Amino acid sequence: MKKAILGKKLGMTQVFTADGVVIPVTVVEAGPCFVIQKKTIDKDGYESLVVAFDEKREKLVNKPDAGQFKKAGITPKRFVKEIDVDAYKDLNVGSEIKCSVFDEGEKVDVTGITRGRGFTGVIQRWNNARLKMSHGTGPVHREVGSMGANSTPSRVFKLKKMPGQYGNEQVTIQNLQVVKVDEARNVLLIKGAIPGNRNGLVLIKSAVKAGK
């Protein structure tokens, strides 16, 4: 059964197991999320839930969004996203989704936007090796290097790894383990690192490859 919830990355820490093993974890404020729209096959052609997460000042919300939040009976939220309806068929507009939908030890996939690093060179972006520091190689030692033969093919091949924008892209990390569920504080502790900046939005959902 597929489950999903929106969360906010708070940072990283570590926890100890009963036998003293250290586990690095990412702290995620997961929910509560509120259902503001339920899409159906008859009306929309497919099934999904539109959920909202994280408080937002009322004066920062435009009138259409404010009307949708008011119709659902909730305060304005910062993030709105569609999720799969598989595990939440019984939920209606205004229903609440908490972090307790996940259990300790469960495997999840986490999707987020990676930290943007701007325009970077090939060493940072693609882990290229630095050129020689002697024997006439220079004055630049961090450049791309050979771009291909001059006579044939007389062009640069497509998909060559070159400098450019690095980061700020959607990434999903699969099969991460939920170490602890703190329902009182709406917090999930997920083993390992997840993509995104601190306070960045993440989508936590049931792992698609957990059984393989």
Query: For the domain that residue 82 is a member of, what is the CATH number?
Result: 2.40.30.10
Number of domains in the chain: 2
Q: What is the pTM of this model?
A: 0.81
Token pair belonging to 79: 């993030």
Same-domain status, 186 and 91 = yes
Range of the domain at 76: 4-116+172-206
Q: What is the mean pLDDT of each run of 10 residues along the chain (212 residues)?
A: 86 88 91 84 84 84 84 84 76 82 89 93 93 85 86 89 93 92 88 90 88 62
Instruction: Determine the Cα–Cα distance for residues 25 and 9; give it in Å rounded to an integer.
Output: 11
Peptide bond before residue 32 is cis, with ω within 30 degrees of 0: yes
Residue 124 domain-assigned (yes or no): yes
Count how many Cα atoms sit within 13 Å of the Cα of residue 91 in the half-sphere of its side chain.
Answer: 26
Same-domain status, 107 and 200 = yes
Q: Where are the alpha helices (DSSP H) in 73-158?
A: 122-126
Max Cα–Cα distance, the chain, nearest Å: 72
Instruction: Determine the Cα–Cα distance for residues 94 and 82; give it in Å rounded to an integer.
Output: 15
* Predicted local distance difference test score (pLDDT) of residue 114: 92
Instruction: Determine the Cα–Cα distance for residues 189 and 187; give it in Å rounded to an integer.
Output: 7
Instruction: Determine the Cα–Cα distance for residues 73 and 6; give it in Å rounded to an integer.
Output: 19
